[in-house]
Copies of this chain bind each other. A is one copy, B any other.
Amino acid sequence: MLTEIINIGDELLIGQVINSNAAYLGQELNALGVKVFKMSSIQDSKDEILRAIEEGFLRADLLIMTGGLGPTKDDVTKKSIAELFGVGIRRDENVLQHVQEIFKKYNRPMLDINMQQADVPENAQILFNHWGTAPGMWFEYKGKYLVSLPGVPYEMMNIFQNDLKTQLLKVIPQNKIYHRIILTVGMGESFLAKTIEDIEDALPEYIKLAYLPKSGQVRLRLSCYQSNDAIEQEIEQIALQLTERLESVIVAQEDVTLPEAILNQLKAKGLSLSIAESCTGGFLSHQLTSIPGSSKVFKGSLVPYDNAIKEQVLGVNTQTLAQRGAVSEATVSEMLKGCLNLFQSDIAIAISGIAGPDGGTEEKPVGTVFIGISNHKRELIKRFTFTNLRQVNIERSATQALAMLFQEFLR
């Protein structure tokens, strides 16, 4: 099933918004065995939308559009689609009721343009949007399919995971897809590839191996898009080979993120965690607390951004700060002790570094980060040198802290 993704919105074309919707849909469709051969970002105008649909249907069996469904005047998608199909507009009663409920719940006045959120082309099948006012829509057209989704990422994702996925599975040719994921951390993509070269070379043609890298983690995915029981067993055998070869860097045998893998391990071992994070400024705590149920193992964290807080709340010595600096092994060691003490947790992580762009010195350039972990009995502190970029340094530090925790304390 050849598919094209069309993202509507001037904010994409002027680079104000990075197109995460396209990547999300690409990933999800790929997992369903649907081949995306093109993604386009286009203007929010009737001409461009109609042109994109017509050009898309020259080759694609399925077009998925996002965006252009808001209530304001620059949103013309629904009118364009109705014109394309030569149909009128109807007001959907279920959607209208849902929109009214949302406005009632938040006690907001409902305007005529809000009512129009319930207007759809007559031939639209509704993909219900429980999370917002603009419904998703499904159209069949000469044996092909057109889908229109709102551009707000979480609304789009939730509609995809609920109604749309079910609908797609009805029309996707019924091949059985089998994916097997192994999550690794701490080994680069090319070095991984070299390490498992012989296993990869020996793969039969119907089993694909993909390397999916993301901020210090590499997800290995074995896939077959026309699978059966025998092939599944074969894939599991190969996964076993990979696992033996890569044991030291494997974090999970399922499709979870690194923070999820960590929380699962902590929960399984009955251990609690706390964090004192300075240069990462709350990002590591955010990664963990984004996961439902994290409160079962995560006791809390402190962001001691000001050095005075490191002293007063964590008990770091004034002398240590003055002589060794806030970014030092000595300070991180005292932060660890203070963190364990403050939060009364089984394990503590402490991070102090120079995120940049300013604050670097010859001895400690921007990107220098000390990461420490302690479980009361054993303390491990490592020095890293990441990049010149603030965002990258924050993300890498968080990933490294979790990798250290997993590899040195949870395995």
Contact = CB atoms under 8 A, between A and B. Distances in A.
As for how many copies of this chain the complex holds, the number is 2
Interface stretch (A81-89, A292-300, A316-324, A368-376): A292-300
A1 interface: no
A300 B306 contact: yes
B42 A41 contact: no
A10 B387 CA distance: 27
Interface stretch (A26-34, A237-245, A261-269): A26-34
A355 B15 CA distance: 28
A227 interface: no
Nearest to A302: B302
Contacts of A344: 308
A37 B154 CA distance: 26
B301 A70 contact: no
Interface in A377-411: 385, 387-392, 394
A106 interface: yes
Interface centre among A13, A108, A212 (most CB of B within 10 A): A13
A281 interface: yes
A253 interface: no
Contacts of A356: 292
Interface in A272-308: 280-286, 288-290, 292-295, 298-306, 308
A206 interface: no
Interface in A3-46: 10-20, 22-30, 36-43
A44 B316 CA distance: 51
A282 B292 contact: no
B290 A300 contact: no
Tell me if A's interface is mostly helix, strand, loop or mixed: mixed
Contacts of A394: 286, 289-290
Nearest to A219: B16
Contact of A14 (B27, B48, B385, B388): B27
Which interface residue of A13, A26, A282 has the most chain B CB atoms within 10 A?
Answer: A282
A131 B342 CA distance: 38
Interface stretch (A120-128, A165-173, A187-195): A187-195
B19 A23 contact: yes
Given A19-B23, A113-B190, A131-B392, 14 more contacts: A13-B36, A15-B30, A16-B219, A39-B40, A40-B41, A72-B193, A154-B389, A154-B391, A281-B286, A282-B286, A283-B290, A292-B390, A300-B305, A302-B302
Return the 7 tightest CB-CB contacts between A and B, nearest first. A281-B289, A15-B26, A282-B285, A15-B27, A282-B282, A15-B23, A39-B41
